[in-house]
Each structure stands twice: as C-alpha cells, then as structure tokens.
Amino acid sequence: MIKIIPVAYIDPGTGYVISTAGTLLITIILGFLGGVSLFAKKIFRFFRNNKRRIFCLYLLLVLLVLMGAIKMSMVHKKAGRFNGKVIIMGFDGLSPEILEPMMKEGKLPNFLKLAEQGSYRHLATTNPPQSPVAWTGFATGQNPGKHGIFDFIKRDPKTYGLDLSFSNTGKGIPRRVVKAKYFWEYASDLGVPSTIISCPGTFPPSELQGRLLSGMGVPDILGTEGTFSFYTSEPVSSPKDIGGNVFKVEKGPVINLNLIGPKEVENIKVPFTVTTVPEQDTVIIELQNQKFQIKAGQWSGWKRATFPISAFKKMKGILRFYLVEISPEFKLYVSPVNLDPSDPFFPVSYPSGYAGELAEHVGLFYTQGMPIDTWAVNEKRLPEKAFLEQAEEVLKGNKAILDFELSRFQKGILFAYFGFSDTMQHMFWRYTDPKQPLYEKDAPVEYKVMIGNCYQKMDEVLGDIMGKIKADDLLIILSDHGFNTFRRTVHLNSWLRENGYLYLKDSQAEYGAELLKDIDWSKTKAYAIGFGSIYINQKNREANGVVNFGRETELLKKEIIQKLEKWVDPKYKQRVVSRAYPREEIFWGGNVNDTPDLCVGFNIGYRASWQTAIGGVPKTIIEDNEKKWSGDHLFDPQLVPGIILANRKLPDNPSIYDITPTILKTIGYSDAKMEKGSFDGRPLF
C-alpha cells in the first residue's frame, strides 16, 4: 500500500504544546487565587452564615455527579435480550477461482464441510473493490456515498492536495474518518456486546459495549502506513525507497546508527550500535539498555524503543531487526516502529487498556494496520525468505488473539480479520502466471505453491473455529473481493494527457511530477488520483476549475467513458478497461459530492499505477508491471467477486452490504429501521 508521508504525518509534538499551555494556565490560576485571598474574610462569613444551604447544595451536586457517572458507566453496559453468538471471519481476498477447485480436490476440508452443511455463494463486492472501501461497506452496510471511503487516496478540491483516506490526524490528534455507524455501534445500542479484532477503518477506536482492536489505518510512530529503515554499505542512489528510508553506512567493527523517530521540529533520533562479528556471521546490537545478537539471515525478537517527545512526553515503540548480510556488504533491515500495545501513544484499542491486555496474554504483536512489509520486498531490501517469516509471525499473532477471545466468548458478536491471504496473493501471484513479467519457470516449488498453502492455512483457522462453536451459533466466513493477475500498469494521467484532457505547465516536458505538482490547471479538464478515480476539474468546486457544472460536465464524462472503454493495449490486443462508471451509477448518499466523478473498472491484468495513485504523469501510458506485487483486485468489481459461507441457508446474489443488516436482524434490530433506507443491503436470513 502506498504512503504519502508529508500529508499523513501525525505530529506528536502536540504534547509539548499542551504542556506549555499548562504553564500559562497555572500562572492564571495562581493570580486568580491571589485575588480571591483579598476577599477571604467576606467569603468566610458567607460560609459561616449559610452552612445549611451550602451543605444541601453540596449534597445535590454530589448526587448529580454520581448519577452522571452511573449513567456514563451504563452507556455500554445495557443488558441486551440477545444471548446467542454471531461469529464472523474476514479472510481478505479469497477468490472463488482458487477456492472452488481446491474444495473439489479435497484440499480445503473445512471450507467444503461448511459449504455442504450450510451454504456457499459468490459475494458481490464494492465499487471500487478496494480493501478500505469494501471493509467499510461490510462494517456499515452502506455505500461510499454514505460512509465516505471511496479510494485509498482522497483529494482536497480547494488545494488539489492529497491525503490517505484512512487517516485524519490534523493537529496531531487522530480523528474518525468513517462517516457512518458500524454494526457494533448499533449492537451497543441494543445492549449486545461485540469483540472486534483488527477490522480495517477502525482507527482511532470508537466506544462500544465490548472490546475493539483497531486494524488497517493504524500508523507507525512516524504517522505513516509503515516506513522501514535499511542500513547498507552499498552505494545508495536514492535515500528514499517507496515505503522506506535507506542509509549509507561505512563498514567497520562498530557501526553507530540511529533509529528515526517521530517529528517535533526535526525527526527524533535514537542511537544504537552494531558490533560485527564476521567469523560468526553475526552482529551484536545495543539499543537503550538492550543487548542482543542476530545471525545473518535471521530476525530478532521484538525490541522496545522510547522516543522522548518533550520533557513530559515519550512515545514508546516496538520493532524487529533482520540482518540480511555482513559480507560482502553490510545490510540491516529495521521494521517500521509500531506503537507499543502495552503503552501506545495513540489509542489503538477500546477500552484503552485492551491492547495491553492482549499483549500480556499473547505477547507483543504488530499494531501497525498493514503489518506485512510488502514494499521492502518490492524495493529488494528484504529477501522473500524473511518476508515469509514476517508474514507467518503476523498470522501467528492474529491466531493467538482470536484463540484468546474465542476462549472467553460467551455471547454477542465476534469478528476477526485476517489480511494474510491478501498479502500472499499480492506478492506471490507472479509464480502462478506465465504471462506475468516476473514469472520464473524454475522458481522454488515452495513459492509456486505459496498461494495454495495460504488458502490451506485459512482452512486450518476455519477448522479451529468450527470446533469451538455450537450448532445454534451463527458462523459467517467472507472475503471482501477476489483476486487475479496484475501484468500491466496503467498511467491514467498520461492517458488523459494524450487524449487532450490534461496539460502540463511545460508542454514539452516528458513527464509530470507526483502530487499533481506540474499540471496546468487553466487547461486541464480531468485528472486522476488513487487507483482508478477520475475527477473533472470543475468550476466552483476545484480551486482552478475550467469545466462548467451540469451539461458540460456530463458530456465530458460520457466522452471519457467512451474512449476508455475502447482503449486497446497494443501488446496483448485486448481492452484495458472493462467498464468506466459515472458517479451517479455507483454512489449515493450524504457524502456523494466528495466521491470521484468516474471510477475506472480495469480488465483482468491491468491496474492503475502507483504513480497514478499519487498524481504522477509518467512518460508512457502503459507498461509491464515489474514489481513483485504481481496479484491484485483493483479491477472491474464484476470480475472479482468475493466469497461467503455460512452455517445457514444463503440466498442467491448476496452482497457485502448485506452483512451488517444480517447481523443486526439476528440480534434483534427492528424491521422498521431496516425499511427506512439505513442500509444498502438486506438481511440474508
């Protein structure tokens, strides 16, 4: 997933501002008390002459405070009438095209058993079929025009500035970005407890009756979606990889390095030393009173680091080291520094101590919303062996948390999210598709069967759950979308430029910089950001709009759609775009005006480029995808349905929007509210 570090940054220096303001406040209070002392005698007489009245007033105030405290404590402790269990598992990205053959071959016995005893269907996904969009649709039962999440990237039309859609950290304070109610919040209103584990889009955590661990959207300590550090003695052409920072170091018996921490004025640095032991192919690392040894080709365990924000504020993080090699070059990878679940600077769970409780029971775990470091592999900083070990560690942590919660789950709703299946398919699809540019015919067998093994691991998780529930418990297993190959990368802004809809300030320039920096807005009619979102540069909406609202905008949209759907890739002689969707066909609701004017539904094999996502205008229009990120789901949603299984009879053509009303109907939510258009789906049972 992409990172836009400058605009997604969380400013932890806010703590310093608050403490400085506190000094001023103390001065004011002392001055006030000094003034009050001048009237001490009069005040004393007043209290002496009105003892009874003051005592009664005091008792009344105490009662009011107690009543308020009791009311607040009972907000999420209502006694609901639902005493059953609803268990929902989210296995990100499971595809019918892989699941069904494996079930027929007997390789997924638990999926097959659930399908036979209950039912199995394809699940219509969201448009666009992006994980933030789909999981938010799952959790709210609403389309992006209502819940407000419609791409990984969003723009400010008044400035053309870009930001992450799952992040809102203005002035250093995380704020909720989803503009609709989650199903567990409805459940809380009914007094039904919920346990929500790692659902995307839940940072910062909201209050509920129950427990919640935030998922996708939780940043690292830099405020990004995950920024690794890589220290190497090799020549460095650029200090910045996508998703990471690269530092050139000099080889020697002792190497002094720094961890890069959050920003106050500049990034806070925490020093650590690396002592090389070449004869043992190991290093000894010393970091803040921790001394440990790592052998080349091995991971360290979790290590803690504390970053002083101010005299009164510290940010605590956890991280892992991987020693790639000592010789012939020194190469050390350091994971993004995660917020320490035992003492997170920003809340990552509700109640606030829940993450620490989990850490006590299962050990330290990744709090970062997207924990498996795909970009370090893409940038060839982390070997695939290390990447797989990291992914297994994440999966192990997910399973441990789920097992712990299942062991004490008495009633209500339990949801757990697993992103392992999504990540494995993103990174290992190239070993299954001979037409993929990085396909290796003679690749190791374990890499060729990695995706199948991933599905079998999800089958094992399902088997564990099925062994711990009763027949009358409701079990739902789903994926948010399917998956397929990603062979060709499409530069939408370059296509818009070639077709006369987008212009650069320098008409002779071969390319335009990212973040929409080089675009001539006085001539540009349309521009693209995100993974298929096209916006019309509209008057009175965009800062420098040139297209009139109404007929002119609508005609332009139709023209772009027609051209996109006729676009043929010269390499494979096939259409690049399956369908392009106008806003009004796929979005509706109170936030519809923020959504893209057009959403591009690509054919299988084609996907919007990383450069398109952050507003770049490359030289070429389409080219081979040469990243190890070789599988994807950002295609026409009609081509990548998800899957759903349940231990109940499912109707035909279920949608991801049906899950929330299904859950609420099960726990006793009224039919009257279901009929008022609150949700874009319907109860499945």
Mean pLDDT of 85-89: 98
- Say whether pLDDT at 35 is over 50: no
Q: Which helix (H) or strand (E) holds 24?
A: helix 14-37
Name the least confident of 33-47, 58-72, 219-233. 33-47
Mean pLDDT of 166-186: 90
Cβ count within 10 A of residue 670:
11
What pLDDT is recorded for position 76?
A: 46
- Say whether pLDDT at 75 is over 50: no
Cβ count within 10 A of residue 574:
13
The pTM score is: 0.89
What pLDDT is recorded for position 133?
A: 98
Mean pLDDT of 68-92: 73
Tokens of 414: 């339990």
Q: pLDDT: is 37 or 655 the higher one?
A: 655
- Say whether pLDDT at 170 is over 80: no
Mean pLDDT of 347-360: 98
Q: pLDDT: is 685 or 18 the higher one?
A: 685
Choose among 302, 303, 296, 285: nearest CA to 323: 296
Which tens digits make up the pLDDT trace of 254-311?
999 999 999 878 899 999 999 999 999 999 999 999 999 999 999 999 999 999 998 8
- Say whether pLDDT at 430 is over 70: yes
The band of 561, judged by pLDDT with boundaries at 50, 70 and 90, is very high
Which tens digits make up the pLDDT trace of 637-660?
999 999 999 999 999 999 999 999
Task: Set out the domains of the chain in order of their start, with CATH numbers.
Answer: 75-142+180-218+369-483+633-685 (3.40.720.10), 487-632 (no CATH)
What is the percent of the chain with per-residue pLDDT over 90, rounded to a whole number? Answer: 83
Mean pLDDT of 536-563: 98
For 263, residues 6+ apart whose C-beta sits below 8 A from its C-beta are: 9, 11, 12, 13, 222
Q: At what angle are helices 450-466 and 96-104 packed, to 10 degrees?
A: 70
φ, ψ at 45 (rounded to 5°): -60, -40
What pLDDT is recorded for position 370?
A: 96
Place of tokens 């999420």: 76
Which tens digits make up the pLDDT trace of 130-145?
999 999 999 999 999 9
Which tens digits make up the pLDDT trace of 495-509?
999 999 999 999 999
What pLDDT is recorded for position 49?
A: 64
Mean pLDDT of 102-127: 98
